Amino acid sequence: MISDIKTQVRQVSPAVQGSDGDMGYPSMSKLGQLYTADWKAFLSSAGKLYRISVGTVAGDAGVTRVTGGGAGTTVDLDEPEIVIGCAAGYFLIPVEVHVSGVLDQDANAELGEILVTMDRTQVPAGVTGTAGTMYNMLDGGEAYPGGPVYHTVTVVTTNPTNEDIIAIETVSSSEFVSNGAATNLTNGVVTKLQLDWAASFPQYVAGPCSLLVYWGGTAAVTALATVVVGIVPASWFPVS
């Protein structure tokens, strides 16, 4: 005899339902889909993924990129181009980082870098920069609950503690004449600096913490960027 199989609908507001060893119902979406999809699809449909974009695209004027290094040149750990805070009571989940930059390499051994790090100790404090907007990947979902978010930062009063390197990309120039001596590139070469990073598995970092994105180099790097993070209540993944 075939019996109906029923599951609980838990899409937008899933919650911890038990402890290790407990029995429970499987979950499904409001469309009747069992949650057998990957972790990114689950977080997105639950309204727990958020995106921030840096740089602008304005009509016929084209794109406006952000200059790295606090509108300077070199990577300055006190001046991230993007910083996403996560308050206590939540886990922050780095999901994707995409940065597309350019730099004018008109000398030998010029360097450009993109760096993504995690500060496990604090949310950003005393920041001078532009307040960022986090868009819920489920349009109409709740506002980002995690804490302060900034981009194009010029001052961070409390220095970040960059404990985890999440992703890094580097490009350098090298030009030699026939005798092996280095020589300047008189006309310059505009070089592309690109980072496309996506997590293959989730990393849950307990708040207070921050995700930081930098770009810069010996020559100024200008870039557009978009970052996706997940944020969930700490009760979703109890550690004891």
Question: Is a pLDDT exceeding 50 seen at residue 210?
Answer: yes
User: pLDDT: is 178 or 122 the higher one?
Assistant: 122
- Kind and range of the H or E run holding 98: strand 90-105
Domain boundaries, the chain: 36-231
pLDDT bracket for residue 155 (50, 70, 90): confident
pLDDT at 33: 67
pLDDT at 91: 95
- Kind and range of the H or E run holding 171: strand 164-172
Q: What percent of the chain has pLDDT over 70?
A: 75
Question: Is a pLDDT exceeding 80 seen at residue 188?
Answer: no
pLDDT bracket for residue 115 (50, 70, 90): very high
Could you tell me the CA-to-CA distances from 236 to 43, 87, 92, 161 in Å, in that order? Answer: 12, 15, 12, 26
How far, in Å, CA of 148 to CA of 215, rounded?
20
Nearest to 193, CA basis, from 213, 170, 174: 170
- Among 52-66, 168-182, 201-215, where is mean pLDDT lowest? 168-182
Average pLDDT, the chain: 82
pLDDT single digits (tens) 3-13:
566 766 666 56
pLDDT at 97: 97
pLDDT at 212: 95
pLDDT single digits (tens) 77-103:
888 999 999 999 999 999 999 999 988
- Among 14-28, 92-106, 161-175, where is mean pLDDT lowest? 14-28
pLDDT bracket for residue 186 (50, 70, 90): very low
User: pLDDT: is 179 or 117 the higher one?
Assistant: 117
How far, in Å, CA of 213 to CA of 77, rounded?
9
Q: Which residues contact 84 (CB under 8 A, 6 or more apart)?
A: 52, 92, 132, 134, 146, 149, 210, 211, 212, 227, 229
State the Cα torsion 213-219-224-227 to the nearest 10°: -10
Average pLDDT over residues 63-77: 80
